[in-house]
Amino acid sequence: MTPERRIPERRSRKARRTRDTLAQAAFELVLDRGLRNVTVEEIAEAADVDRRTFSRYFPSKEAAALDSLRGDGDRINAALRARPAPEPPLLAYRRAVLDWLADPVAEAWHRRPRIFELLVVAEEEPTLYAVFHHIRVDAQEDSIAIVADRLGVDPRQDIRPAVTVAAGAGALLAAQAAWVRGGRPDALPERVVEAFDALAETVGAAESAEAAQAARATEATEAAAETEASP
């Protein structure tokens, strides 16, 4: 490797370290003191940089505090890409989430120190929750592209990938909310299975009801035809 190539790589590593240091400082200060009792200047000082440097990496203290959650969407999407092609999309999404939860290297939310606390605070602080919502939306956009690729369709023309991801991500969000409100930091995998099972039951019940309705309509049509044919 030439010296010219090493310089950009060193700069990139330094920038990554600076970003991570700022994010960790924001994470700890927000959890230790509360979101409203922390300023951007204090986060920058804790990371040994100035306010201008902070602003190069993050638009707000909320974005910095939640930065560690961005990688989780990437990990779920990586697991989704790796699921076998024959799997139905919603089942693939469910199993991708379960793969993420089970992977000790990925360190899902229930395995990482203080993430449970962070999500409790996010439930209570509207500005923090709004940033968390944007992080989820960004991950879901990538999920839609992955599902569209699995189906071989254009997501701009075919609504199925967006519907699939909305359903799966909605189940994950419901599980996360139940987990946070339940007060058991180790219970996330249970809540996720419960949420996806509830989704499957709802979809199954809807399909059964639709099939029953169609059968009744067919029977009524046949009965009417028989009546007309009778002398």
**DSSP secondary structure of 92-141:** HHHHHHHHHHH-TTT--GGGSTTHHHHHHHHHH-HHHHHHHHHHHHHHHH
Query: Which pLDDT does position 88 carry in this prediction?
Result: 93
In this prediction the pTM is: 0.82
Asked whether the predicted pLDDT for residue 57 surpasses 90, the reply is yes
Q: How many CA atoms lie within 13 A of 3 on its CB side?
A: 0
Say if residues 172 and 97 touch (Cβ distance below 8 Å): yes
Percent of the chain exceeding pLDDT 90 equals: 78
Strand, coil or helix: 185: coil
Query: Which pLDDT does position 106 carry in this prediction?
Result: 84
Average pLDDT on 142-152 reads 97
Distance CA 133, CA 110 (A): 19
Name the more confident of 7 and 133. Answer: 133
**Is residue 12 very low, low, confident or very high in pLDDT (cuts 50, 70, 90)?**
confident
Nearest to 200 by CA among 81, 84, 94, 96: 94
Query: Which pLDDT does position 14 carry in this prediction?
Result: 87
Query: Which pLDDT does position 219 carry in this prediction?
Result: 42
Query: Which pLDDT does position 45 carry in this prediction?
Result: 97
Nearest to 61 by CA among 96, 34, 98: 34
Query: Which pLDDT does position 226 carry in this prediction?
Result: 46
Query: Which pLDDT does position 133 carry in this prediction?
Result: 95
Query: Which pLDDT does position 81 carry in this prediction?
Result: 97
Say if residues 191 and 178 touch (Cβ distance below 8 Å): yes
Tell me the pLDDT tens digit for each residue of 151-198: 999 999 999 999 999 999 999 999 999 999 998 999 999 999 999 999
Task: Look at 30-34, 109-113, 205-209 and tell me which has the smallest mean pLDDT.
Answer: 205-209
Tell me the pLDDT tens digit for each residue of 86-132: 999 999 999 999 999 999 888 899 999 999 999 999 999 999 999 99
Percent of the chain exceeding pLDDT 70 equals: 84
